[in-house]
Amino acid sequence: MIAVFSLLSILEIIAMYADTDAEFSGERSTNYQDALRLYPDAWLHDLKLMHDLLQPRPGESIVEVGAGTGYFSREIARTLGANGRLDIVDPASEQTQGLAEILPRNIRIHHQAAEDMELAFKGFDAVWSRGAIHHVRDKMRAFERFAAHTKLGGRLVITDIFAGTTLARYFDSFIARSCVTGHEVSFLSQDFATTICGLTGWSCPAFYDNTARWRFADSQHLGKFLRLLFSAKPEYSDEDCLEGVQDFLTVQDGGGSCTLLWPMTTLVAQRAATH
């Protein structure tokens, strides 16, 4: 009986990780949304970095992969204006629940995985993703789908955690054991990302280090934000989550605020003329 139970448990875990929607559902989804609801200004610097790297312009058409709760979607849609369009592709229906009611009319939501993306429109000016590609199972297939939906010369802009970085170590060490769903993902290396781009119709990518500054009133608020954002198990307190991030990343205290330096990498490529 014990052996059967163990086998069933393993199969359930495998099924959960085979479905990104299941990972970002229930408690994980609720906590993530609470983090951004309680601290809506924590990622303001990330919005500036998005503008600097993606450079969305009025009238453009952009597809956002892994939009989650739509934090960046609202700003991108505002910039594109009424004559532009933003298509959101995210398999986690709980994350995007309610977005249709609060987002502008130029936004369309598609509950699809990145590697299965199939949209009627095929002339996007850019594909944008922030913090989602490491969850994608078949990255080669996903990049192919991105290219199939982007016009020649269109932009691919992916901001994410890359292999070998301090941020990847933080996730593999602390988040993987503290998160209620675990964090079994694969981080791209710059070498493999370059190979994928070359094989799927993109130019040789450029890589940019960009460090977002997550600001809070004090370190206690930072610990609470991290516990909610990454849905820590009950045995992990706000203080545990704060100590966990301090083991790997830089936290600056002073001047009546607390700032976490969040070092990500951005890949930028163009849709090549031949594939």
Contact predicate 117/87, CB 8 Å = no
Contact predicate 211/262, CB 8 Å = yes
Confidence of residue 263 (pLDDT cuts 50, 70, 90): very high
pLDDT at 168 over 90: yes
Total tally of structural domains belonging to the chain? 1
Angle, in degrees to the nearest 10, between helices 219-229 and 26-38: 150
pLDDT, residue 99, reads 64
The reply to whether 275 falls in a domain is no
The reply to whether 220 falls in a domain is no
- The pLDDT mean for the chain works out to 88
Where b means 16+ CB within 10 Å and e means fewer, 47-61 reads bebbeebbebeeebb
Check residues 246 and 106 and name the one with the higher pLDDT. Answer: 246
CATH code, 190: 3.40.50.150
The reply to whether 238 falls in a domain is no
The reply to whether 39 falls in a domain is yes
pLDDT, residue 29, reads 82
25-28: list long-range contacts, CB under 8 Å, 24+ apart. 25/92, 25/94, 26/94, 27/180, 27/231, 28/179, 28/180, 28/181, 28/231
What secondary structure does DSSP assign to 100-142, as a single string? Answer: HHHS-TTEEEE---GGG---S---EEEEEEES-GGG-S-HHHH
pLDDT at 1 over 80: no
Least confident of 23-27, 126-130, 241-245: 23-27
Check residues 69 and 41 and name the one with the higher pLDDT. Answer: 41
The reply to whether 223 falls in a domain is no
Pairing of strands 257-270, 206-216: antiparallel
Confidence of residue 230 (pLDDT cuts 50, 70, 90): very high
- The percentage of residues in the chain with a pLDDT greater than 70, rounded to a whole number, is 85
The reply to whether 56 falls in a domain is yes
The reply to whether 63 falls in a domain is yes
Q: 91 φ, ψ to 5°?
A: -75, -15
pLDDT, residue 148, reads 98
pLDDT at 270 over 80: yes
Least confident of 85-89, 104-108, 251-255: 104-108
List pLDDT tens digits, range 73-91: 989 999 999 999 999 999 8
The reply to whether 227 falls in a domain is no
Least confident of 102-116, 146-160, 191-205, 244-258: 102-116
By residue range, what is the domain housing residue 46?
2-212+264-270
Q: What's the per-residue H, E or C state across 11-43?
A: HHHHHHHCCHHHHCCHHHHHHHHHHHHHCCCCC
Tell how far CA 161 is from the center of its chain. Answer: 9
Report the alpha-carbon angle 144-111-231, nearest 5: 105
Mean pLDDT value across residues 177-196 = 96
Q: What is the pTM of this model?
A: 0.88
**Distance between CA 63 and CA 59 in Å, rounded?**
13
pLDDT at 11 over 60: no
Mean pLDDT value across residues 254-269 = 94
Nearest to 233, CA basis, from 172, 170, 168, 181: 181
* AA identity, residue 11: L
